[in-house]
C-alpha cells in the first residue's frame, strides 16, 4: 500500500489518537469500565503495532474499499449464482424438462444494481440457453441502451427456466416449482432495483393478481428491493402503441438507477 495513495486512516495516526487523548479521557470514567476500556485499547494498540510491523500503513477508506465493504454481506454470507446453478443441475423438478433443449438460468453481471425478470424462455432462448436473445430480446437490448445501460451492466433472468411448449403461459405448478431458484438468485445478487417484465414476473414477485396495466409505472417492493413492473418486450412487439408507456417506465427506472 503506497502511503501517498492511502485514503483513510494511517496506522501511526490511529496509534497516536488512542494512546494520548483516550487514556486521558478514561480517567473520568467509572473504575470498572475504565479498566475494561483500557484493556481493549491496549489490545487494539498491540494489534496496530503488529500490523505496523508488517508494513500495513493504515485502514483504506477509498470509495472502492467502501464499495467492497458495502457488498461484503452478500458476498461473504450468501450463496453465489454458481452455487445455485450447480444445485439446479439438470433439473427435472417439473414437467417442462421433458421438451426443453436448454435450461436458461440467467445472464449478466452477478453484482448488478438492476435485475430484469421476464416470464420464460422462448424458442431462441431454448436453443441458445441464454435469456432474451430472440426478437423480444433485441428490443430489450435497445430499450436498455436508450437509458444508457448494456446487457453487461444488468442481470437478466426469467420466472421459469425452461421453455413451455409452443410458448404457452407457464402453469401454476411450474411456477411454484421453479420460483425458489429465482428468489435465491435475487438474494445472491441483492440488486438495488428489479424491473419485472410482463404479467407473470410482476404478479409472481409481488404475489398479486392485479393486472400489469395497473401495476406498471409504479415502484413496488420485493424483499426490500424497489421493483418496477412494465410490459414484456414481446407484448410490446405485438402492441406498438404501448411503447410510450414503456418509455415512461424506463425513464423512471433510469432516474432510480442513477440514484443508487
State how beta strands 114-118 and 155-158 pair.
parallel
Residue 171 in grid coordinates: 402453469
Minimum CB–partner distance for residue 96 and ligand SF4 (Å)? 4
C-alpha pair distances (Å), 29 with each of 14, 21, 24, 34, 42: 21, 14, 10, 6, 17
Looking at the Cβ atoms of 216 and 232, the one nearer to ligand SF4 is 232
Element (H, E) at 30: none
Residue 227 in grid coordinates: 421493483
Looking at the Cβ atoms of 132 and 257, the one nearer to ligand SF4 is 132
Cα torsion 191, 196, 200, 202: sign = positive
C-alpha pair distances (Å), 236 with each of 140, 203, 242, 244, 246: 10, 18, 6, 10, 8
Minimum CB–partner distance for residue 193 and ligand SF4 (Å)? 24
Minimum CB–partner distance for residue 100 and ligand SF4 (Å)? 6
Site of grid cell 497516536: 16
Looking at the Cβ atoms of 102 and 220, the one nearer to ligand SF4 is 102
Looking at the Cβ atoms of 52 and 102, the one nearer to ligand SF4 is 102
CA 187 remoteness from chain centre? 7
What is the side-by-side strand order in the sheet with 225-230?
A: 107-108, 155-158, 114-118, 193-197, 225-230, 220-222
Looking at the Cβ atoms of 103 and 250, the one nearer to ligand SF4 is 103
Minimum CB–partner distance for residue 105 and ligand SF4 (Å)? 8
Residues at the site binding ligand SF4, with contacts judged by CB under 6 A: 88, 91-94, 96-97, 103, 160-162, 174, 177-178
Minimum CB–partner distance for residue 15 and ligand SF4 (Å)? 56
Q: Which of 219, 202, 221, 192 is nearest to 112 (CA)?
A: 192
Minimum CB–partner distance for residue 81 and ligand SF4 (Å)? 14
Report how far residue 131's alpha carbon sits from residue 95's, in angstroms, rounded to the nearest whole number: 20
Looking at the Cβ atoms of 97 and 145, the one nearer to ligand SF4 is 97
Minimum CB–partner distance for residue 204 and ligand SF4 (Å)? 13
Whether 141 and 151 have beta carbons less than 8 Å apart is answered as: yes
Looking at the Cβ atoms of 157 and 178, the one nearer to ligand SF4 is 178
Amino acid at each position: 500500500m503506497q502511503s501517498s495513495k492511502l485514503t483513510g486512516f494511517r496506522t501511526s495516526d490511529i496509534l497516536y489518537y488512542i494512546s494520548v487523548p483516550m487514556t486521558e479521557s478514561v480517567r473520568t470514567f467509572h473504575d470498572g469500565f475504565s479498566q475494561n476500556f483500557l484493556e481493549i485499547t491496549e489490545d487494539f494498540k498491540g494489534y496496530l503495532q503488529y500490523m505496523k510491523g508488517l508494513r500495513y500503513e493504515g485502514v483504506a477508506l477509498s470509495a472502492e474499499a467502501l464499495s467492497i465493504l458495502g457488498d461484503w454481506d452478500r458476498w461473504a454470507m450468501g450463496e453465489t449464482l454458481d452455487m445455485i446453478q450447480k444445485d439446479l443441475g439438470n433439473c427435472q423438478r417439473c414437467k417442462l424438462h421433458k421438451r426443453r433443449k436448454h435450461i436458461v438460468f440467467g445472464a449478466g453481471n452477478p453484482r448488478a444494481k438492476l435485475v430484469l425478470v421476464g416470464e420464460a424462455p422462448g424458442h431462441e432462448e431454448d436453443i441458445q440457453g441464454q435469456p432474451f436473445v430472440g426478437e423480444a430480446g433485441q428490443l430489450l437490448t435497445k430499450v436498455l441502451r436508450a437509458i444508457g445501460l448494456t446487457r453487461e451492466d444488468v442481470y437478466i433472468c426469467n420466472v421459469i427456466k425452461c421453455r413451455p411448449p409452443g410458448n404457452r403461459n407457464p402453469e401454476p405448478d411450474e411456477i411454484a416449482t421453479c420460483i425458489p431458484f429465482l428468489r435465491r438468485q435475487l438474494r445472491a445478487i441483492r440488486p438495488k432495483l428489479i424491473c419485472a417484465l410482463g404479467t407473470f414476473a410482476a404478479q409472481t414477485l409481488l404475489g398479486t393478481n392485479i393486472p400489469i396495466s395497473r401495476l406498471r409505472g409504479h415502484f413496488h417492493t420485493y424483499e426490500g428491493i424497489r421493483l418496477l413492473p412494465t410490459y414484456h418486450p414481446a407484448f410490446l412487439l405485438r402492441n406498438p402503441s404501448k411503447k410510450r408507456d414503456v418509455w415512461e417506465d424506463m425513464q423512471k427506472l433510469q432516474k432510480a438507477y442513477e440514484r443508487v
